[in-house]
Each structure stands twice: as structure tokens, then as C-alpha cells.
Chains A and B, each alone.
Chain A
């Protein structure tokens, strides 16, 4: 029992509730929001040290023992994601100080960001499948509000589609939980794992597993990404960057958890379906990223490609590939947010999303330009930068397990990523300078600080592989051995 495990959920929740009380005092709101994220990050790092020393930390809420009460489980995988999501949220928060209009700021904007992080951290830390659903809803309700806050026409149109698709997938989630409960009679993930292993995952449970796969694929834009490009380009930059960094990644986390902890007995069926979905996602995402000439569309399709690539790790189901996938997941959360923020700054300067209508920005904004350049090289996976190590390990895994086709698609999709981001860089920053300082719509004043923060994290992930890797490898080895998780939650068998 360790009460610190609840703090990454309680701190943003309490802060959000407090912020509702005084929406007009914007400076205090900003200060409290930043302090809350720093506190969460501190507790998560502290927990990570504890997990390193004493093994997986759990908290039985209300003192009820594991299969009967709700249990929160902090293992290395979830803590790494909690820390990363806090860094991402902090970056978006500081970015929004300058870029969000005061009408939005005064209408509970910061409170809803806190509630979004409550849901995200809760999803990462919970050890109960119904509780996972509840935290998904906490996160989604906050994201509905953030998506439509401001009430622009395109926000409302994208909001309707986003809300509809998520309501349908949440309803399917409930149905799947009901099926699973009817078959196994438990909702605790560790206990589910034991029960499913005892039954040997017969066809019925495999069918339920596929239903879960469809649900989390919709949430994480794996193959079912139709809703993503439009809804991620509707809200202001700070919000869409937050969504790009966090929301789909929570779905990916759920896929990882479900298919390493509970449904790992029939990899011939479930994991090969995942492999097909990953391959198709990368191909379709690459087509989208290459096809469009609109900054936000290109970046949105890059999210889709990355999701396909991360999921290879689970499709291959081998320790090296899983390590690589976790490493790439963490890197992608940071870098995708960074790219959205930089893209948003470019769009703000020119006042248009179309690549054709911008050029030569490097003259007035060299720092912005080179940051975009480094970020896109990190995304592609050029060696000293952060994307390289993850991609290398994933590819090593595909080769060792003879998933050659997936490996080749992964490599080719990297080319598509490179082409699409360089298209933005070359169109936007090279060429004739069309805009003088006076013609620019907004300034980049204050926007580059959070981007610098995120790029430092990305560089650290790339150059400091030696420091980060032990944690990532520990997370992957825990995922490959569900017995560790089960023993931490249910006690020695």
C-alpha cells in the first residue's frame, strides 16, 4: 500500500476543482496549473525511484483487497507515460499563455486542462477495467469541451463528429466489459489475467479480445482514423497539440495493457490481426501525409503513421520490439506535440494552413525553422535524435521474428514521414521571403519557450539513451512477464 500512487490523479483533480471557483483571475489560474503539473511530475519521478527499488507499487482504494476493490498499479510503464504526459501538458500549457484568447482563458480553460490530465493519468495508473472506462470518459468529456470551447463553426462541426464517434466507441467499451464480466466474473485486470489463463482463452474470450481491439483502435486511431484529421485541426494550436500528444496514446497504452496482461494466449489470432491493422495504418497514414498540402492535415496523418509503428511492437510480441515500441511511444508523445506547436506558430505567422501560400520564413525566424528541422529529423529517426533508438529496436524485433513485411512497411513509412515534414520545411522556410516583419499576423513572442523545453526533452531522449533505456527495458520486461504484475496486485500465488 502506497498512498503516493493516487497523487498523480488527485493533484490535477483538486487543482481543476479549485480553478472552477475563480475563472476571472487568469494569472492565478496559470500559476496554479503550472504548479500542479510540476507536483505531479515530482511525485511520478519519486514513484519511479520507488518502483526501481521495491518493485511495482499498488494502492488498494478504501483498504479493500485486490480483486474486490479498485486497485491502482504504478509500474514502470505507466509511470514513464505519466511523466511524459506531464511534460507534454506543461509545454502546451505554457504555449497557451500567449496563444489562447482571453475569452477562452476566462471560460474554465485551465480547469478543463487539469481534468483532461486527471483522466489521462488515471487511465495510465488504474488496475481495474471498469475504472479504466471511467477515466477514459473523464478524459474524453474534458476533450469534448476543449475541442468546442470558443464555438467557432469548424470547431462545432468537428466536435459533433468527435463526440458521436467517441460515444459509440464508449458504448461498445461498456458492452465488451459486460461480456468479459459475464464470462470471467471479475473486473480487476490482474484477476482477469489469472482467470483467462485458467480458461486458456477459448474462442469466446478471443472474440471479446477482438471487440476490445476494435474499441481501442477507434480511440487510438489505429486503422479507424477517419475522425482524427478533421477533429485535430479544429481547435486552437495549444489544444490540438495536447490532443496529438496524449489522447491517441492512451488508447495505445490500453492496447498494450490488454494484449500483454490479459489476452496473450492466442497470439496467432489477436496479434496477427493487430499486425495487419498496423501495416494498413502505416500505409494509409503515409498516403494521407504525402497527399495533403495543409500543415495540420499532414501533421495529423503523421500521428496515424506513428500509431501504426508503435503497435508493431505489440504485434511482434517480443521483448526487443516491445522496448523499442515503448521508447518510440514516449518519444512520439513529446515530438508530435512539439511539431504541432511549431506548425501552429507557423500558421499563426502566415495566417493560412496552405503550404503553397507560405515561403521564406527562415529569414525572419531562423530559430523556429531550425527547431522544426530538428523535430522532424527526430520524428523520422535520424541517429543521434530521439526517434532512432525506438525504430531500431522495433525493426530488430520484426527481423528476429520474421515479420519482414511489417519491417519494410515501417521503413517505407519513415520515408513518407521524412518527405511530408520536409515538404513543410522546404515550402515554409526556404525560398523567397514573402512576409516582412510588419505583415505577420501574430508574433512568436513567448511561443518558442515551451518548444525549446520540449526539444530539450527530445534531445535528452536521443542523446541520453543510456539513462532512459534501463527504465524502458524494465517496463518492457514487466510487460512480457505478466506474472510480475499479478503477483504485485494479488500477492504471491
Chain B
């Protein structure tokens, strides 16, 4: 029996973007405020999960055609590469480099290599959460 999910689907279409935006905010807030790659990744995963709940798995798979297992590997490689960059620059492994850069709209911005490291963690967390849930969900 096919139930009418109009309300759930319409709300999801709006709310998903709100959750996604908040997760990106949390990801970038991590340096000076609560947040970071782990919680940002979990929240992004929950936004995507809401899509899977409101619509069926097949149509979301068509819309988001990612291979999540590969994203785990890419996240790992990004984090590891961030750590290894400093080895080639003469510093110890996992050394952090930072710089204040003047960006037009934002003004003075503090850029550090901790962000790509966190980006790797973010990707791993998002992908792992979705791999687990989809693997269990698709098991007929």
C-alpha cells in the first residue's frame, strides 16, 4: 500500500537544506567554537538520511550518485596527505601551518592546514554513517 507522503516530502525538501547549512557552519566553526569535522559530518549524514527516509532509496541514489566507500578512502587520504605535507616541507609529521589572509567579503581570515585535515574526517564520517545505514537498509 502506498501512503501519501506529501507533507513529509515537502517539509524534507526545505529542512534538509537547513540541516545541511548548519552542518557546514559547525564544520567551519570547529576551530574557535564547539563543532568540527566529526559533528559536522554526522549532521550532514543526518540531512542525507532524512532524504532517504522521505523518498525511496532508489531515487535518492539516482540524485546523489556517490560511491560512499570510495569517499571513506578519499577522506582518509586527504587527512593523511595533510599530515604528510609538512614532512616534505622539513617539519615533523602532522605539523600545522597557518596564515592570516585578507579575503574580500570576509576581511581578515585565519587559514590553517587543520581545515583540510578536518575535511578528511568530515568525509569519512559522512560516508561511514551512510554506508552503515544503507547496507543495513538495503538488506532484503
Contact = CB atoms under 8 A, between A and B. Distances in A.
Interface of A: 1, 3, 6, 10, 13-14, 17-18, 20-21, 59-63
Given A6-B87, A17-B80, 6 more contacts: A3-B93, A14-B80, A17-B77, A21-B74, A62-B92, A62-B95
B96 interface: yes
Identify whether the interface residues of A are mostly helix, strand, loop, or mixed.
helix
B70 interface: yes
B119 interface: no
6 contacts: A6-B87, A20-B69, A20-B70, A21-B70, A59-B92, A59-B93
B26 interface: no
Contacts, number: 42
B93 A6 contact: yes
Nearest to A60: B92
Interface string B12-29: 000000000000000000
Given A3-B87, A10-B84, A61 B92 contact: yes
B92 A20 contact: no
Interface string B68-99: 01101110110010011001000111111000
Given A60-B92, A62-B92, A63-B95, A13 B80 contact: yes
A14 B84 CA distance: 11
A14 B120 CA distance: 13
A59 B84 CA distance: 13
Contacts of B69: 20
A17 B73 contact: yes
A63 B92 contact: yes
A21 B92 contact: no
Contacts of B93: 3, 6, 10, 59, 61-62
A21 B127 CA distance: 13
Contact of B92 (A1, A10, A14, A17): A1
A20 B72 contact: yes
B94 A17 contact: no
Contacts of B77: 14, 17-18
A3 B88 CA distance: 10
